[in-house]
Amino acid sequence: MKFFVDTADIADIKELADTGLLDGVTTNPSIIAKSGRDFREVTAEICGLVDGPVSAEVVALDHAGMMREAEILRKIADNVCIKVPLTIDGLKTCKKLTADGTMVNVTLCFSANQALLAAKAGATFVSPFIGRHDDNGFDGIDLISDIRLIYDNYAYETQILAASIRHGVHVLQCAKIGADVMTAPPAVIKGLFKHILTDKGIEGFMADWAKTGQSI
Ligand code: G3P
* pLDDT profile of the chain (216 residues), mean per 10: 98 98 98 97 98 98 98 98 98 97 98 98 98 96 98 98 98 98 98 98 98 97
Q: Which CATH superfamily is domain 2-212 in?
A: Aldolase class I (3.20.20.70)
Total-model pTM: 0.96
Would you state the pLDDT for residue 128?
98
Q: Domain ranges for the chain, please list them.
A: 2-212
Confirm whether 83 is a catalytic residue. Answer: yes
Burial class (CB in 10 A: 0-12, 13-18, 19+), 4: buried
Residue nearest to atom 5 of ligand 1 (CA): 164
Distance from Cα 214 to the centre of ligand 1, integer Å: 49
Q: Looking at 83, 95, 190, 194, which residue is catalytic? A: 83
Q: Give the 3-state secondary structure of residue 188.
A: helix
Burial class (CB in 10 A: 0-12, 13-18, 19+), 150: middle
Q: What are phi and psi of 80, to 5 degrees?
A: -75, 135
Distance from Cα 187 to the centre of ligand 1, integer Å: 13
